[in-house]
Structure 1
Amino acid sequence: MIRHNFLTDADAAQKFIDGVRRLKDPAQFPWPGRDGLSIYDSFVFWHHQSMMLMTPPNQNDRNAAHSGPAFLPWHRYFLITMEGLLRRAVNDSEFRIPYWDWTTDAELSEPATAPIWSNGNLGQFAGSDWQVRLEMSLRTGDLRPVNRSLQRELGDAGRLPTRTGVRMIIRDQAAYDTSPFSSSSAGGLRNLVEGWVGSERIHNSVHVWIGGDMGRSSSPNDPVFFLHHCNVDRIWAAWQERHLNSSYLPDMTAPDTLQFHRIDDALYSIYEDTVTPGDMVDYKRYYEYDTISDLTELQV
C-alpha cells in the first residue's frame, strides 16, 4: 500500500492513467442521477462546491476546504476517496495514487519539457479525447456545463517550488496552524504549504504554473490535480514524522466560526460518509510513501 513517484514507477503511472480514463467514462462509471456525467466529474463538482461554502458565510476567505486548517485533511480525504474508486477501476486492491515530485522539475532549465508532460504521460490528456464537462465560469464563478478539451498554460505564470524551500518549511515550522486560521495566518505548516504566505507559495504556485483548468475551482478536471495534491500530502506526512509531538489545530474548543476545520468536525462531502480531520491525521492507516527522506534531510 505504497504511493510511488509517478516517474519512477511505470506500473503505478499506467494504472493511474488507465484508471482515471475509465472513471471519466459515463458508460463505465456513471454519476448516478446525472445524465452524461461520470463519477470522475463528481469530483470536479465536489471540489467546486467546497470552495463555494464559506466558513463562516459572512466572509470570503476561508471555505470548507481551503484557506483554513482543513485544507490538508480535506484533500487527504478527497484523494483517499478517489483512490478507492481507482482501485475498482483497475481491479487492483493494492493500487495507490502516485505523486508528482515537482521539486525535481523545478531544477530543470525548462520545467515545461519535463517527462511528466510527454504524450505517454500526462501530455495525452491535453488531447481532444479528454472531455471537460463542467467548468467554473470566470465571469460568474458558477459551475456550468461545457464540452471542450483540457486547457493548460505550462510555465506562463508562477513557478515550481524548490526542494530546499520545502525542506526549510518542514524543518522550521513546529505548529500545524496558527490563529486566525485563515489565509493570513503568519505561521504554521498549513498556510505555508497551501501557499498564501512565504516565498515558495507551494500548493498555490503549482496551480498557477500549470494554469488553464488548474487555475479554476474546477481544477480536478486536470488529472495532474491528483498527482500534485499527492505530493502536497507527502509534505504533510514528512512534517508529521519530523514533528511527532505537534497536533492538529484547532481542537473543539475553537468557536463555531471554524466549523469544518476543528478536529472533530465533519469534513465537507457530497457523499454520505462522515469523516473528520482527526480521522485523517494518521495517514499510515491508508498508505505510506516510497520515500519522505528527501524532504526531511536537515541540510538546506
Structure 2
Amino acid sequence: MKLSAGVLAAAAAIGLSAVGVTDAQQTQPRCSSVYTRKELLSLTPTEWNTVSGVLRTMQNQGWFAWFAYLHTNWFSQIHSQSQFFPFHRRFVYEWERVARQYNPAYVQPYWDEMRDYRAPATSAVLSSNWVGSNGQGTNRCVMNGVQGGWTMSYLGNHCLQRNFARSGNLGPWYSPEYITSIIQRAPNMTVFRPQIEFSLHGIVHIETGGDMATRASVNDWIFMLHHTNIDRLWWQWQQNGHLWTMDGPNWDGTQISLNTNIAYFNEPIRNVMQLGYGQMCYQYATNPLSRRSLIGGVENLISSVLPPDVLHKWFPDSAKVPSITFAPGAKPPPPSNGKVIPYPREIPDSWIVSMGNDLANAKNARADARNFVEAMNKAGYKSPY
C-alpha cells in the first residue's frame, strides 16, 4: 500500500529555501550575509512595529504612489510572458531596498495564502491587527489595519479600496497540494509561469478587489505580501532542478534568456536568479505556523492513499520516493479532519482580457487545476489542509 506521504517527503525537501551554491552560471558575488523573509503572522511585535512604521513613512513620502506608477506603466511588459517572475523579484527587492533605507531592520514578509485557501476572508492576515479587512461603504474604503483610513494619491486621490468578491465570501483558492504539484510537474518557465500566474497569483488579485484588482495594485500592501510569496514559490521551483531555467517569450516577441534585461531595471535577468548572490541577499524561512501546509512546512500529515498512476502523473518527484508499506492487515493513519479538495475559484475571462493577459494560457491553467481536483477526488484523497 502506497501512502501519499511521498508527497510530503518531496515537499519537505523543497520547503526550506536555503541559499544555494554557485556554479558556472553565476556572475554575481556571493552575499557576505543574508536576511530572512518570514511569513507575516510569524513576525514578533517588534518586527511588526518596524514594518508598520516604515509603511507609514513610505506612504507619507510618496513611495506607494511611485511603485504603483511603475507597475501600471510597465504592466504589459511584465505579465503574460516570462518577464513575470524576474521583474517582480526585482520589483519587490527594490521596494524592500527603499524600506530598509528608512529602517535597516525592515524585511519584507510574505502571506502564505495556501494556508488560508479554503476560506481566505477568515485569515488573521485580513484582520484589523494586520493588513485590515474588506472595504466599507459605497467606495469600499479600508478602515482598519495598517492602511486603515489611508488616502492613495496615484490615479487621483482616493481611499484605499478593497471589494472582496461575492460580498466577502472569498475562496476557495488553490490548495497546497496543487501548488506542490505545479512545482513538481512544470518542466520549464514556459509552463511554470502561466500555471502560477493564472492560478494563485491572479485569484488573489481579483478576489481581493478594489485597488488590488487594478494595474495600480501596489497601492494595497497586500500586493507586496502576495508577490513575496509568489517569489518564494518560484525559488522553490528553482531549487527543484530549475535554478537557471529561463525560457519562453519576452514582451517584445523575442525569446527570453538569462542575458535579457529586466523590464524597467535595465539589468540582466541572470542578476536575480540565485538568492544569496549580488543584490539578492535574502532567503526564505520555513514557516513555523505552517504545520498544515505543504509549501514551506516540515511537519505535514498526508494520510490518504494515492494510486500509483495518480501519484506519477501529478506528483512525479514524490513517485520517486520509496513507497511506505504497511504490514498485512495494517492501515494508514486516519485523516486529520480530512476533506475533499474543493474546486478553486476561477479568474473571469473579462478580467483576463481587461488586463491584457493571455486568455488561452489562462484557460489552460484553469483546466489543469480542475483536472487536478477531479483526479484527487476520484482517487478518494482527503486533505488535512
The equivalent of 2:123 in structure 1 is 114
The equivalent of 1:282 in structure 2 is 274
2-side partners of 1:3 and 1:9: how far apart? Answer: 10
Using a 3 Å threshold, how does the CA distance of structure 1 residues 158 and 104 change in structure 2: closer, same or farther?
Answer: closer
Where relative contact order (Cα < 8 A, 6+ residues apart) is larger, the structure is 2
Q: Please tell me whether the aligned partners of residues 152 and 159 of structure 2 are also in contact (alpha carbons under 8 angstroms).
A: yes
Q: CA deviation at 1:203?
A: 0.5
Q: Please tell me whether the aligned partners of residues 176 and 246 of structure 1 are also in contact (alpha carbons under 8 angstroms).
A: no
Using a 3 Å threshold, how does the CA distance of structure 1 residues 18 and 150 change in structure 2: closer, same or farther?
Answer: farther
2-side partners of 1:130 and 1:219: how far apart? Answer: 15
Q: Report SS of the residue matched to 1:288.
A: strand
1:76 aligned to which of 89, 101, 113 = 89
The equivalent of 1:151 in structure 2 is 162
Equivalenced residue count is 244
Matched, 1:241 2:239: yes
2-side partners of 1:13 and 1:153: how far apart? Answer: 25
Equivalences for residues 171-190 of structure 1 within 5 A: 171-177=184-190, 188-190=191-193
- Aligned letter for 1:130? W
The equivalent of 1:35 in structure 2 is none
2-side partners of 1:120 and 1:245: how far apart? Answer: 37
Equivalences for residues 1-300 of structure 1 within 5 A: 1-10=35-44, 11-25=46-60, 29=61, 38-51=62-75, 63-92=76-105, 95-107=106-118, 110-123=119-132, 126-127=142-143, 129-134=149-154, 144-153=155-164, 155-156=168-169, 159-177=172-190, 188-195=191-198, 201-244=199-242, 247-250=245-248, 257-258=253-254, 261-269=256-264, 274-285=266-277, 286=280, 287-291=282-286, 294-295=294-295
Q: CA deviation at 1:81?
A: 0.2
Q: CA deviation at 1:206?
A: 1.0
- Aligned letter for 2:77? A
Q: Please tell me whether the aligned partners of residues 2 and 288 of structure 1 are also in contact (alpha carbons under 8 angstroms).
A: yes
Q: Report SS of the residue matched to 2:237.
A: helix
Q: CA deviation at 1:245?
A: 6.2
2-side partners of 1:79 and 1:126: how far apart? Answer: 23
2-side partners of 1:123 and 1:88: how far apart? Answer: 26
- Aligned letter for 1:126? V
- Aligned letter for 1:231? N
Unmatched tracts of structure 1, length 5 or more: 30-37, 52-62, 135-143, 178-187, 196-200
Q: CA deviation at 1:87?
A: 0.8
- Aligned letter for 2:122? T
2-side partners of 1:157 and 1:295: how far apart? Answer: 21
Q: CA deviation at 1:131?
A: 1.2
1-side partners of 2:252 and 2:158: how far apart? Answer: 40
Q: Please tell me whether the aligned partners of residues 37 and 110 of structure 2 are also in contact (alpha carbons under 8 angstroms).
A: yes
2-side partners of 1:208 and 1:42: how far apart? Answer: 22
RMSD between aligned residues: 2.7
1-side partners of 2:163 and 2:59: how far apart? Answer: 19
Q: Report SS of the residue matched to 2:77.
A: coil
Q: Which runs of 4+ in 1 moved over 3 A?
A: 11-14, 154-159, 296-300
Using a 3 Å threshold, how does the CA distance of structure 1 residues 190 and 18 change in structure 2: closer, same or farther?
Answer: same
Q: Please tell me whether the aligned partners of residues 6 and 12 of structure 1 are also in contact (alpha carbons under 8 angstroms).
A: no
TM-score, scaled relative to structure 2: 0.58
Q: CA deviation at 1:156?
A: 5.0
Q: Report SS of the residue matched to 2:74.
A: helix
- Aligned letter for 2:214? R
TM-score, scaled relative to structure 1: 0.73
1-side partners of 2:84 and 2:252: how far apart? Answer: 17
Q: Report SS of the residue matched to 1:257.
A: coil
1-side partners of 2:109 and 2:243: how far apart? Answer: 28
2-side partners of 1:228 and 1:240: how far apart? Answer: 19
2-side partners of 1:98 and 1:262: how far apart? Answer: 29
2-side partners of 1:203 and 1:3: how far apart? Answer: 19
